[in-house]
Amino acid sequence: MAYLSEIHLNPLRTYTQRLVSSPQRLHAAIMGAFPRQPADGRVLWRLEQRNHRYDLLVLSPDSPSWVHLIEEAGWPGADGGEARIADYAPVLSCLMVGRQFAFRVTANPVENRPMPLHPTTNQTARAESPDRKRSLRLGQRTAEHQLEWFLKRCSDGAGQWGFTVGSRTEPSVALVGRQMLQFNRRREEPPVTLNTATFQGHLTVTDVDLMRQSLVAGIGSGKAYGCGLLTLARP
């Protein structure tokens, strides 16, 4: 089973401001919606700011309860203040090769390199560590590189995620938002820096199984911090 939730958060409430200032705090609050940690899949989420509110979208393998978030960060008792929870099975069952959808996703474009051109002190220490087992994961920081990262994985018939977005020369996707997030995960560790990019456009399904996997497991990295949730709509 999978469930897609939508929760409206009140930007004027102090608790909302604390949550939106740290993906680490918001992730913890989201996980509090489940009586047990979901064991059958990953919880994905995305936060979007509207004119007078924040919309929190959450895809989860278990049915959640959002009472705690609504009471502390929403509009409890107000018309439209309740959370909306929908069974995600109809979306997963309607996929077929060649079908087109409008889509939106916030991703964390990264690449693996042995060493960046201008490494920080922390990156140098990690690269020189005797326990190092893989190359450094570095975020794509420019709009050009972020869009190229996305196109490389889903255009010109590649379909790494089970869909394509036109071609490299005529892509059906646009980069509509960029953000650099920096927050503390643990006190004794350096801050986490996350470069995010929001993509929106139209996709064509090329592989149903891969597409389902992309929807329920997310795409890219940074999934615990609001990246990877791919949402679909009629074109």
pLDDT in tens, 147-189: 999 998 887 666 789 999 988 889 999 999 998 888 777 777 7
Q: How far apart are CA 106 and CA 220, in angstroms?
A: 10
Region 72-92: what's the mean pLDDT? 96
- The mean-pLDDT minimum among 78-87, 113-122, 169-178, 188-197 falls in 113-122
Region 210-228: what's the mean pLDDT? 94
Predicted pLDDT at 159: 75
- pLDDT over 70 at 105, yes or no: yes
Predicted pLDDT at 107: 95
Mean pLDDT of the chain: 87
Predicted pLDDT at 75: 97
Q: How far apart are CA 108 and CA 172, in angstroms?
A: 20
Q: When comparing pLDDT for 69 and 122, which is higher?
A: 69
Q: How far apart are CA 97 and CA 207, in angstroms?
A: 6
List the domains of the chain with CATH numbers. Answer: 3-88 (3.30.70), 100-233 (3.30.70.1210)
Q: How far apart are CA 65 and CA 35, in angstroms?
A: 9
Predicted pLDDT at 219: 94
CB-CB contact of 132 with 186 (8 Å): no
The pLDDT-based confidence of 123 (bands split at 50, 70, 90) is very low
Classify each residue of 57-80 as buried b or exposed e, where b means 16 or more C-beta atoms within 10 Å of its C-beta: bbbbbbebebeebbebbbbeeeee
Q: When comparing pLDDT for 35 and 38, which is higher?
A: 35
- pLDDT over 70 at 197, yes or no: yes
Q: How far apart are CA 140 and CA 134, in angstroms?
A: 18
Region 105-109: what's the mean pLDDT? 95
Region 108-120: what's the mean pLDDT? 63
pLDDT tens figures, 38-78: 656 789 999 999 889 999 999 999 999 999 999 999 999 99
CA dihedral 99→104→106→111, nearest 10 degrees, is 40
pTM, two decimals, is 0.85
Query: Assign residue 37 a region: left if phi > 0, alpha if psi is -120 to 50, beta otherwise?
Result: beta
